[in-house]
Structure 1
Amino acid sequence: MFRNYLRFSTRVFLKDKFFASLNILGLALGIAVSILLLLILQNDLTYDQYHEHHQRIYRVGGHLSATGIDIRVARSARELRNVLQDELPEVQAAVRANSWDHTLVKYEPRAGEERAFYEENIVRTDSNYFQGFSHTFLAGNPKTCLVDLNTLVLTESTAKRYFGDEPALDKTLLIDNTSYKVTGVIKDLPSNTHLSFDILLSQLADREWVRGENGQIKSEAFWNPDVYLYVLVPEDYEPQTFYSKFPAIFDKYFKSFGDQVGGKYEPILERLDQIHFHSGLEADEPQGNMAYLYAFSGIGIFIILLACVNYMNLSTAKSVNRAAEIAMKKTLGSGKPALVASFLGESVFLSVIASILALGIAATVIYATSFNDLIGKKLALDFVHNPVLLFGTVGLTVLIGVISGLYPAFYLPAIPTLQALKGAYKNRKSSLVLRKVLITTQFGISIFVVVCTVFMQRQIRYVRNRELGFNKENIVVLPINDTLVQNQIEGIKHEFLQRPTITQATTAYHVLGMNVNGQPVMWAESESGMKQQAFTLMFVGDDYLKTMGLTLVDGRDFQPGLADADHSFLVNEAAAKLMGWGNNAVGKKVKFFHDKDDKQVIGVVKDFNYNSLHNAVEPLLIARGRDNGGFLHLRVRGEDLPETMDYIRQKWSQIDPIHPYEYFFLDQRFNEQYRADEIQYKLVSTLSYICIFISLLGLLGLSAFTAAQRTKEIGIRKVHGASVPHIIYMLYKDVMYLVLLASVLIIPVAWYVVTQWLGNFAYQMPPDYGLFVVVTVFAIAISFLTVAFHSWKTARTNPVDSLKYE
């Protein structure tokens, strides 16, 4: 039986290659997109689940509130680790992790063979890290590898980078001028983990200032979260148990300092496998967005439906051509179940062929393009080790085949036998109505995704080009990695400024759009006296405002040198507004929480976006740093840029020969904040092109079939004087009305979705309702060209040949 179905399906395919090819191509694109989205969904929905105890590991964050401050932070004080282990017997292990990025790591096997790299993904942790977290060891013992001081564990690729094919165990790396012994090598971490590292260092040190004269940890230490803290608890542990016991810990360790600041602290437990999508705490690793996952999944389902709709449309439209065949089968004894099975077999057969083509498309996208780099994942078509992918692909193939053939399978056997044998059968009205509904649905989906794509593109372009309140163009940033360089920075700046193409120079510990964060608690003058308040804080060097193009709206800038380092602040307009200073901010008192002496506001800077435009400008204090560390900022001219950059490289390599030369342009680094938005835009735009293409494939097939069916009618109309444009319009007008209807129905939905997405930005582009008209006109134009592709040839046929048709 199966062999007969297969043979018959093959004959049907070979008999009508054009329409079968359209169906296969549409289904292949739908299945390929489904496979890629399945891999993305699997990657995101299984975050951190590769750890054996992922359901027993909780991260401990905190909700800190006090006068002038209210934050929910993912980190905890490192001193809390031992407290939890001592006070809560159910905590089987507590592990801290502290990121240490952009650090020079060296390996010196022999003189003159130094291998040095800047590492961006180093983590310091505790000796019991592997008691909770699961990793596959290639060398070393997970129970003892981090017990000794100055030991480390490497990932496999990092070990190869430094040691090649040589064994890494017991070799030594120099990190920040300290020697570390390699005691373990593990397999590379998967991309779907929030706690990622290339190098894992032992012995996370305690902070020096935390103990008082009596040796006890100061209460204020617990109010300074600086590490990620994880606890391993028994199976089926209820977080409420932890919360119920914490008030006693608060009273014993937190309360003393909390009373001084009017503070409250409440722990926040987050299970490891739920952090990626359900955290939203400050100071967290980049988070997933379930809304985007729903959006991509929705568009993926749309694409599958579009491919299925094409098959339904073409199958029902061509039912006239197959009416005699169906009638003959019924006359020879084929019952309805057999006919249904036959037509479902056809659609599944085409779906299997499409699936093979889809695997080729998916493999090309994954392995022959930069798709993985674009989305920041490590997708692979590994059917052997990924049963979800294997069964998912097979299931999708069968499901799409069944869905595509379901309506034709029940529609075609219902054709009246007598009419079909007489050649008098025509498509029923219900079939025509359904086909119009399906075409409207196709173009509605296509218009929807195109509208979303255009709005996303315009918003990203808007935030990239919007005035930020400072000039980010043509600023070269060089990290200052050496203390000797830091001590000589004034002379170095003067030397660089002798070059005509380098116009300004300054230093700062913060890079705008990159690391301006943290909100220390300060005391600031208010109408009722000194008020406790949190501000964002920046430390800068001389000429920072001038170099960055910031505008001083009141008061003065810092004087050259360290004259203002100990007693002065600049504030932005948002800070002045927050404190109610109005136009009288200059002269107001501000000081750090523990300082005895007041500092003074000497100037007000016009608000500027020091972080991405997802967020509004927050209150900011700018202080003159006591040293010139951090980053050297050089403003350069746009002309002769290659020569200028070559000069900077040569000069900086002479100034700091110890560290590898590195630099970046501020505008490029600032725009990296929108990388996630750009990835979403590129994915949605690609999916929108696929939606349009599949819709046009179906329209192409229908227009070809319709033109062929109306050949004799066209011949008669031409004999009576109808022109070619008139005939093309006649064949297209029904489609045009359907496209307009689709646009009217879908635009309100698209506007709602776009509005929700724009809510992620504090600064949004002005509304442009004309875009909806443009997209609708585009849909009409492209559908017209598709229909005209076949209609033009038919309309130009000699009427004599047309009247001989059939």
Structure 2
Amino acid sequence: MFKNYIKIAWRNLLKNRQQTIINLLGLTVGTVSCLAILLYVFDQFGYDEHHKEASSIYRVETIIERDGDENFDTGAASPPIAFALKEDFPEVDEATRVVLADVFYSNLIGAAKSKDSYYEPRVYIADSTFFKVFTYNLLEGKLETALNGPNSLVLSSSLAEKLFSGQNALGKAVTWGSGEDAQTLTVTGVFDETYGKSHLNPNYIVSMSTPGMGTFVQNFQDFATNNFVYSYVKLKPNVASYQVQKKLPEFITERGAQDLANAGMDNKVLILKNVTDIHLYSAGRKNQIHEVSNIKYLYFLLTLAFFIQLVACINFINLSTARASKRAKEIGVRKVVGAGKKSLMWQFIGESLLLSLFAMLISIPITILLLPMLNELTQATLTYQNLLNREIAVILIALGITTGFIAGIYPALILSSIKPIRALKSAVILKSGSGGFRKALVVFQFVVSISLVATVIVVTQQFKFAQSKDLGFKKDNLLALRIGTDEASSKFESIKSAFLEIPGVVSVSSGNYAPSEIVLSDNGLYLPGGNRENVKIVKRQGISEGYFETFDIPIVNGRDFTPSDTTDQIIVNQATLRAFKIEEENALSSRLVQSFGDESYEMRIVGVVKDYHFASIKDEIAPLFLHKESSPNWLFLKTETKEYGQLLSGLEQRWNATVKNVPFDYRFVDQEVERLYDEEKRLGQISLVFTILAILISCLGLFGLVSYVAEQKKKEIGIRKVLGASIGSVVQLLTKDFVVLVGIAFLIASPIAYYFMQRWLEDFTYRIDIQWWVFLLAGGFALVITFLTVGFQSLKSAIANPVKSLRTE
């Protein structure tokens, strides 16, 4: 019997080639879309699950409260907190800390006997307990002792290959840094960076006991400030995190009450977050050690996949019922010879399942071919091996069966209910009253399409707003050149003079942070006559003279720095004046006080600059003071040229002639700033691609419904044409109902899209206002698509020979 069902189903699919191709196309596009989204979403899950006892490993995160507000939310903590937790709580089995050195300085690294050195990102400084908490696959060395001693270094396998070209790296000497600050490190391990997905993504790890930043962290004992250390604790077996979490308020009060008071903090909240949750549930929290995902975006993509597949199912239903009359006699004959309703239902469901499973099979190679495009779109690194995931395979099979069943159940119910006498008497047997459900399905398709089009418009508007918003400085024609070493920094004036001689270079300056970099440096400042209880945290940036000229940042009061200025003279932004309630006209007679331990000293404001975005526009412009810096990390050039190749060549020649053995590492500021909005740009591109696919599938659904309507009104159209009706009036007859459907869908989709896009925009401090015309444009677009799709089929029916539709069958 089953074999007979398959054989008949296959024959029917071949017999109705046009319907089969349209159904297959819709289901395949839907399945490919779902599969692509599932591959990406599943790739974002499973982070840090490979660590032994991952469920017991927690990161200590920090919320600092001032004036009753949560005004600092970070994934890091103060240096002493991690090991203090181990000391105070018997529930804590082990602790470790990580410092991301990149954000403080750019160190060169190279094999000790080689002249080549490199700026390598993702430099971790970690405690000796790092490998006791986290699971890594060491290719060389021993996990237990790799970071025990000072000047110990553990390399990723790719960096080890780069430095030592296939030789064993264990025991080899590496030079870290340059000039007087250069240190010789010994390779004590090499790890496989491809082992497991993790929010920790080191390129190389230096032991915390190595002189420099590591020893500073080890010796720093303030529980309030310097919240830049990523701190982790591993709880003992059978200890629940809430048992420790509830003790943390008392812990921070006992350990750091005086430190909090000195720093002007009302409260400091410590939060334990399981490492398996960090990658997905940390969006919006500042100072992440590595780029994280956003669970809200993943839910959005899964919802999008669901609706696309549902739209494909709706197409199948519409097309199957539209062609039902073609199979009326077959159904009548089957029933006359004894076929029951149940067997007929399984026959039609079987055809649907066969088509769905076939669409599922051909979607796999199509998805593999589209993987490069998908990776470019999502910035992922998916391969065909991701398809071998058992969960993906199970979901794909379940998706094919579920799709086939959902798509086939309604047509099966309708077709199996046909009366045999009526079926054998006339081919047109479906009552028009059953069209309400079909119209509801098409309204649903329109709702999805209009909502997606509105979403694409709003996301694109916000992204363009971020790109075009006045950042307070001119990002175009700006180059940022990494100085990186003390030798290069000490030769800044020589480099500046050499660069200014090159045609196309307008001005040269320097600073500690490049635009788009996270400004971690800050100080607690207060007004003279105040005390540490009045402290406000102000971001700090070291610069040279000419910085504001290079970036075209307006000085609204006072002056720029001069060669004779010291660090006692500062320039502040307008946000700093607002924070301390200083009137702009009184700014130059104002001072701010900074304290270190028992000592404090005053800094005099010599200038005020207009607020500019030194961070992402997602964040409100924070108070900032700028001081003169003698050892900057970056060199900035303002340029005027169209021959950038020639300019860069000239800059590199002058650089190499002035600074030895330091790479010429440059970047365009506008491109770096744009990277701050990669997530929004990606979301817009993904939304656009899948919106186009959803609209394509919806067009197939419209084609199915208008085919059904034309089938229902075949004789009516014939009579109208015989009586002299024009082609235009016939087209109008078939299209007018769809205009009503678009209108209904527009009224439903507009508030839904507005609600969700308004929620999405809440993540941005500076954002667009959603305009009414966005939804009108989305509805108009749906109407145009409807006219194009329905008009084609309507015109085909209108020009058909009326004799064929009126003759007796």
TM-score normalised according to structure 2 size: 0.92
Shift of 1:441: 0.6
Which amino acid in the other structure matches residue 590 of structure 2?
K
Question: How many Å separate the matches in 2 of 1:32 and 1:108?
Answer: 51
The question of 1:125 aligning with 2:126 is answered yes
Question: How many Å separate the matches in 2 of 1:217 and 1:186?
Answer: 28
Which residue is 1:620 aligned to? 624
Identify if the C-alpha distance between structure 1 residues 246 and 450 changes in structure 2 by more than 3 Å, giving closer, same or farther. Answer: closer
Shift of 1:674: 0.3
Deviates more, 1:273-282 or 1:579-588: 273-282
Question: How many Å separate the matches in 2 of 1:401 and 1:705?
Answer: 21
CA contact (8 A) 1:383 1:390 kept: no
CA contact (8 A) 1:80 1:222 kept: no
Shift of 1:32: 1.6
Shift of 1:206: 7.5
Question: How many Å separate the matches in 2 of 1:632 and 1:402?
Answer: 64
Identify if the C-alpha distance between structure 1 residues 642 and 725 changes in structure 2 by more than 3 Å, giving closer, same or farther. Answer: farther
Which residue is 2:189 aligned to? 184
SS of the equivalent of 1:520 reads: strand
SS of the equivalent of 2:527 reads: strand
CA contact (8 A) 2:328 2:427 kept: no
Which residue is 2:19 aligned to? 19
User: Which consecutive residues of structure 1, in runs of 5 or more, have no partner in the other structure?
Assistant: none
CA contact (8 A) 2:322 2:707 kept: no
Shift of 1:300: 0.9
SS of the equivalent of 1:443 reads: helix
Which residue is 1:296 aligned to? 301
Question: How many Å separate the matches in 1 of 2:529 and 2:781?
Answer: 58
Identify if the C-alpha distance between structure 1 residues 736 and 67 changes in structure 2 by more than 3 Å, giving closer, same or farther. Answer: closer
Which amino acid in the other structure matches residue 571 of structure 1?
V
CA contact (8 A) 2:111 2:163 kept: yes
Identity of aligned residues (%): 29
Identify if the C-alpha distance between structure 1 residues 500 and 731 changes in structure 2 by more than 3 Å, giving closer, same or farther. Answer: same
CA contact (8 A) 2:225 2:263 kept: no
Task: Work out which of the residue numbers 346, 353, 367 in structure 2 matches 1:362.
Answer: 367
Deviations along 1:625-644, one digit per CA (max 9) or x if unpaired, are 2x042111110014333322
Deviations along 1:23-54, one digit per CA (max 9) or x if unpaired, are 11111122222222222332333222222211
Identify if the C-alpha distance between structure 1 residues 83 and 355 changes in structure 2 by more than 3 Å, giving closer, same or farther. Answer: same
Shift of 1:192: 4.5
CA contact (8 A) 1:78 1:206 kept: no
Question: How many Å separate the matches in 2 of 1:108 and 1:5?
Answer: 74
The question of 1:105 aligning with 2:109 is answered yes
Which residue is 1:567 aligned to? 568
Which residue is 1:604 aligned to? 608
Which residue is 2:460 aligned to? 457
Task: Work out which of the residue numbers 339, 355, 368 in structure 2 matches 1:334.
Answer: 339
Identify if the C-alpha distance between structure 1 residues 406 and 103 changes in structure 2 by more than 3 Å, giving closer, same or farther. Answer: farther
Which residue is 1:636 aligned to? 639
Shift of 1:482: 2.7
TM-score normalised according to structure 1 size: 0.92
CA contact (8 A) 2:499 2:505 kept: yes
Question: How many Å separate the matches in 1 of 2:422 and 2:804?
Answer: 27
Deviations along 1:250-292, one digit per CA (max 9) or x if unpaired, are 4664244345445444432111112233345432244432222
Identify if the C-alpha distance between structure 1 residues 688 and 730 changes in structure 2 by more than 3 Å, giving closer, same or farther. Answer: same
Which amino acid in the other structure matches residue 2 of structure 2?
F
CA contact (8 A) 1:223 1:254 kept: no
Which residue is 1:146 aligned to? 147
Question: How many Å separate the matches in 2 of 1:803 and 1:30?
Answer: 39
Shift of 1:143: 2.5
Name the Cα RMSD after superposition: 2.9
Residues 152-191 of structure 1 aligned to structure 2 (within 5 Å): 152-176=153-177, 177-189=182-194
SS of the equivalent of 1:692 reads: helix
CA contact (8 A) 2:81 2:223 kept: no
Residues paired across the two proteins, number: 795
CA contact (8 A) 2:155 2:189 kept: yes
Question: How many Å separate the matches in 2 of 1:182 and 1:208?
Answer: 19
Which amino acid in the other structure matches residue 24 of structure 1?
L
Residues 208-223 of structure 1 aligned to structure 2 (within 5 Å): 219-220=221-222, 223=225
Residues 536-615 of structure 1 aligned to structure 2 (within 5 Å): 536-559=539-562, 561=563, 563-583=564-584, 584-594=586-596, 595-615=599-619
Residues 240-251 of structure 1 aligned to structure 2 (within 5 Å): 240-243=242-245, 246=248, 250=252
CA contact (8 A) 1:62 1:265 kept: yes
Residues 390-789 of structure 1 aligned to structure 2 (within 5 Å): 390-423=393-426, 425-525=428-528, 531-559=534-562, 561=563, 563-583=564-584, 584-594=586-596, 595-625=599-629, 627-704=630-707, 706-707=709-710, 710-789=713-792
Which amino acid in the other structure matches residue 128 of structure 1?
T
Residues 380-399 of structure 1 aligned to structure 2 (within 5 Å): 380-382=383-385, 386-399=389-402
Question: How many Å separate the matches in 1 of 2:162 and 2:799?
Answer: 67
Which amino acid in the other structure matches residue 240 of structure 2?
E
Question: How many Å separate the matches in 2 of 1:548 and 1:208?
Answer: 31
The question of 1:232 aligning with 2:234 is answered yes
Identify if the C-alpha distance between structure 1 residues 83 and 778 changes in structure 2 by more than 3 Å, giving closer, same or farther. Answer: closer
Question: How many Å separate the matches in 1 of 2:660 and 2:219?
Answer: 42
Which residue is 2:40 aligned to? 40
Deviates more, 1:189-198 or 1:414-423: 189-198
Which residue is 1:348 aligned to? 353
SS of the equivalent of 1:95 reads: strand
CA contact (8 A) 1:344 1:406 kept: yes
Deviations along 1:749-779, one digit per CA (max 9) or x if unpaired, are 1111121112222222344322222222221
Identify if the C-alpha distance between structure 1 residues 201 and 38 changes in structure 2 by more than 3 Å, giving closer, same or farther. Answer: same
Which residue is 2:81 aligned to? 80
Question: How many Å separate the matches in 1 of 2:531 and 2:112?
Answer: 62
